[in-house]
Homo-oligomer: A and B are copies of this chain.
Amino acid sequence: MASFPRPVARLIDQLERLPGVGPKSAQRLALWLLREPPERVLALSESLSDAVEQVHVCPRCGYFAEGEACALCDDTRRDESLVCVVADARDLLAIESTDGFGGRYHVLGGVISPADGVGPDDLNVASLLARVEAGDADEVILALNPTPEGDTTANYLARVLRQAAQRRGAAVRLTRPALGLPVGGDLNYADRTTIERAMEGRREI
């Protein structure tokens, strides 16, 4: 009985480790790659090794850094007194894309999720507490998704951040982004909880 040549089998095996890729899709992907021009596959191979060799996690904020600290921590024009906590780098870039936030960031690397086996110790919480304890953050924005996991994480962080601020001997303002109707949204199609939150959070015009 024939089987795949060893380098093909190894490639399938490696592709299967990717999230959301099962045995069948790993095979399909490997066969697709082996039909591509070799230089394109080598470009992918190189970009993988370059990324892990040239990029590391910023020890201060948890974002990606090429140098010692990341470009955001190195940027002295950013407001040190305002720290925005996000679950991952994509959320950071989503906020950056608005051009409306000039403070610092802290990337947790996920959210607390017992179902996925992720607890506070698996996240960059210690470095956040150290920043708040040592630094001069007046406000920490907990910009986590309004989901059960995001809410749990925000509540946990609120508790430990208050304790950290106490140790510093100063108060810290803790906030979360507003909940309400999305711009361009339709009351008729919004879910009940969103409408409730939008009504609660109503503002003078």
Per DSSP, chain A at the interface is helix
A54 interface hit (Cβ, 8 Å)? yes
- A34:B8 contact, CB within 8 angstroms: no
Q: Which residue from B29, B50, B53, B109 sits with its C-beta under 8 Å from A18?
A: B29
How far apart sit A37 and B115, CA to CA, in the bound complex (Å)? Answer: 22
Q: Does A90 contact B (CB under 8 A)?
A: yes
Inter-subunit contact A88/B31 (CB<8 Å): yes
Encoded as 1 (CB less than 8 Å from any B CB) or 0, chain A from 95 to 135 comes to 01101000000000100000000000000000000000000
Q: Are A51 and B41 in contact (CB under 8 A)?
A: yes
Residues in B whose Cβ lies below 8 Å from that of A92: 2
Inter-chain contact B47/A34, CB cutoff 8 Å: no
Check A34 against B64 for contact (C-beta < 8 Å). yes
How many Å from the CB of A108 to the closest CB on chain B? Answer: 12
A interface residues, Cβ below 8 angstroms from B? 1-8, 10-11, 13-15, 17-19, 27-35, 38, 40-55, 57, 64-66, 70-72, 88-90, 92-93, 96-97, 99, 109
Given contacts A2-B93, A34-B51, could you give 17 more A-B pairs where the C-beta distance is less than 8 Å? A1-B97, A1-B99, A2-B96, A3-B93, A5-B64, A5-B66, A5-B70, A5-B71, A6-B66, A7-B50, A10-B47, A18-B44, A28-B90, A31-B90, A41-B48, A45-B48, A48-B48
